[in-house]
């Protein structure tokens, strides 16, 4: 009920060149009495300036060039972090990447069910509310202490992380394990309490760039071929682009983890081929935690590895994939990591 009140108070501008294609979406929004205004792509900037919506939805399905031009123009004038949701077809890889590069904060592939569409819209509107509180503190906000401000920033990151959960059908437990693994390993590696807490809040965003990866790749129940793997690798730079430009310590850490968690100690990783200490420490920490969780979790293409086998694989990669000092710290705190793993287990599937 509370979520629907947020939606009803919000105004959504939808820019499209074929309203028939988005009828299911507009019908879903109208059922909860949300304020929606439709316009064609070429008039979107004028309508935006006149109406000042809380969320903009741009359809790229019919007139792709018009849609991208619309995004480019909106990017130059949109104020107060008004989020943009781009609509694409199910396999429109170029459209997804172009939309994200022009400022879209999420991608919705059509057709989709009403529940997913409303969840994405609600999540972006919540992000707008949180971003306004972060960027435009009023007198009450100024009087709040550090812990209250930190809570708002943490909530902001959690909302962003939900975008990945929606995209890859994850239950959210991967993000929870990752955040606690990273904080624990960060403490063992010498991060201060404040630094490890920031890493815990930022770590769930390490895969935010996956919102641009097509379902046929992201959800493929088999190993990826070379072209698919090349596409998957772009989630690091896309994620970094989405998180760039913010001056908060939390989002700077989130940017670094998104960009560098697939770099390797010996320089053989991606996307930049960084090596050794040129890789930010938060990226090095996240790399070990991500591999440990991936190995010990069920994936569409593999069963979970036994913990002892996963630990052995990580130890073998010391000096190659991982910083040797962090591998040693990882082994030292393994009991703590296993306690985290036991606490944030995947829910049982009921047949």
The string of pLDDT tens digits covering residues 34-78 is 889 999 999 999 999 889 898 999 998 877 888 889 998 898 888
| Domains identified in the chain, total number | 2
The phi, psi pair for 35, rounded to 5°, reads -80, 110
DSSP letters, 5-18, are: HHHHH-EEEEE-S-
Q: What is the extent of the structural domain holding 131?
A: 1-136
Q: Judge whether 236 lies within some domain.
A: yes
HSE-CB at 259 with a 13 A cutoff on CA atoms is: 19
- Give the sheet arrangement for strand 55-59, strand by strand: 35-39, 11-15, 55-59, 84-88, 106-109
Q: Same structural domain for residues 66 and 169?
A: no
Name, in order, each residue with C-beta under 8 angstroms of 58's C-beta and a sequence gap of 6 or more.
14, 15, 16, 41, 44, 67, 70, 71, 74, 84, 85, 86, 87, 99, 104
Helix-helix angle 281-295:324-332, to 10 degrees: 50
Q: Judge whether 145 lies within some domain.
A: no
Helix-helix angle 64-77:44-51, to 10 degrees: 30
| Distance from C-alpha of 158 to C-alpha of 164, rounded to nearest angstrom | 10
Q: Judge whether 325 lies within some domain.
A: yes
Local confidence pLDDT in tens for the 351 residues of the chain: 445 565 667 899 999 988 888 888 888 888 777 889 999 999 999 999 889 898 999 998 877 888 889 998 898 888 656 889 999 887 677 787 788 778 788 888 888 778 878 888 887 887 777 666 655 544 444 445 555 555 666 666 777 777 776 666 555 788 889 999 999 999 999 999 999 999 999 998 999 888 778 777 888 888 889 888 988 999 999 888 878 876 788 889 999 999 999 999 999 999 999 999 999 999 999 999 999 999 999 877 789 999 999 999 999 999 999 999 999 999 999 999 999 999 988 665 443
Four-CA torsion 295, 296, 301, 302, nearest 10 degrees: 100
Q: Same structural domain for residues 108 and 256?
A: no
Longest dimension (CA), the chain: 61
Q: Same structural domain for residues 129 and 167?
A: no
Please name the helix (run of DSSP H) or strand (run of DSSP E) that holds residue 260, with its range, or none.
helix 249-260
Which residues on adjacent β-strands are paired with residue 318?
322
| Distance from C-alpha of 278 to C-alpha of 262, rounded to nearest angstrom | 13
Q: Same structural domain for residues 205 and 266?
A: yes
Q: Same structural domain for residues 258 and 131?
A: no
Q: Same structural domain for residues 221 and 319?
A: yes
86-105 confidence digits (pLDDT tens)? 998 876 777 877 887 787 88
| Distance from C-alpha of 316 to C-alpha of 342, rounded to nearest angstrom | 24
Q: Of the residues 136, 170, 188, which one is the last residue of a structural domain?
A: 136
Q: Same structural domain for residues 81 and 209?
A: no
Q: Same structural domain for residues 334 and 190?
A: yes
Q: Which residues are catalytic?
A: 210
The domain spanning residue 49 has which CATH number? 3.40.50.2300
Q: Same structural domain for residues 219 and 291?
A: yes
């Amino acid at each position: 009920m509370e979520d629907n009140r947020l939606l009803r108070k919000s105004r959504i501008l939808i820019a499209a060149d074929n309203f028939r294609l988005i009828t299911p979406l507009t019908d879903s929004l109208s059922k909860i009495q949300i304020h929606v205004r439709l316009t064609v792509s070429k008039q979107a900037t004028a309508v935006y300036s006149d109406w000042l919506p809380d969320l903009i939805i741009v359809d790229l399905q019919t007139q792709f060039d018009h849609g991208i031009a619309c995004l480019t123009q909106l990017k130059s004038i949109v104020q107060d972090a008004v989020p943009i949701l781009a609509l694409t077809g199910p396999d429109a890889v170029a459209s997804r990447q172009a939309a994200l590069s022009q400022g879209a904060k999420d991608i919705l592939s059509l057709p989709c069910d009403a529940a997913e569409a409303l969840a994405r819209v609600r999540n972006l509107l919540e992000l707008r509310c949180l971003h306004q509180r972060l960027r435009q503190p009023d007198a009450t906000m100024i009087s709040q202490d550090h812990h209250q401000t930190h809570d708002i920033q943490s909530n902001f990151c959690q909302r962003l992380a939900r975008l990945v959960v929606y995209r890859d059908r994850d239950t959210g437990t991967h993000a929870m394990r990752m955040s606690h693994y990273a904080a624990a390993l960060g403490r063992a590696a010498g991060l201060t309490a404040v630094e490890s807490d920031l890493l815990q809040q930022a770590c769930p965003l390490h895969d935010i760039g996956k919102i641009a990866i097509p379902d046929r790749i992201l959800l493929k129940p088999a190993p990826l071929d070379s072209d698919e793997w090349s596409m998957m690798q772009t989630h690091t730079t896309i994620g970094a682009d989405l998180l760039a430009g913010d001056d908060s310590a939390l989002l700077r850490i989130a940017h670094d983890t998104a960009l560098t968690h697939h770099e390797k100690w010996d320089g053989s990783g991606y996307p930049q081929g960084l090596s050794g200490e040129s890789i930010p420490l938060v990226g090095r920490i996240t790399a070990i935690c991500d591999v440990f969780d991936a190995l010990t979790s069920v994936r569409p293409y593999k069963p979970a590895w036994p913990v002892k086998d996963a630990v052995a694989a990580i130890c073998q990669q010391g000096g190659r994939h991982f910083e040797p000092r962090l591998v040693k710290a990882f082994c030292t705190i393994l009991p703590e990591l296993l306690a985290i793993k036991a606490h944030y287990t995947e829910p049982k599937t009921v047949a």
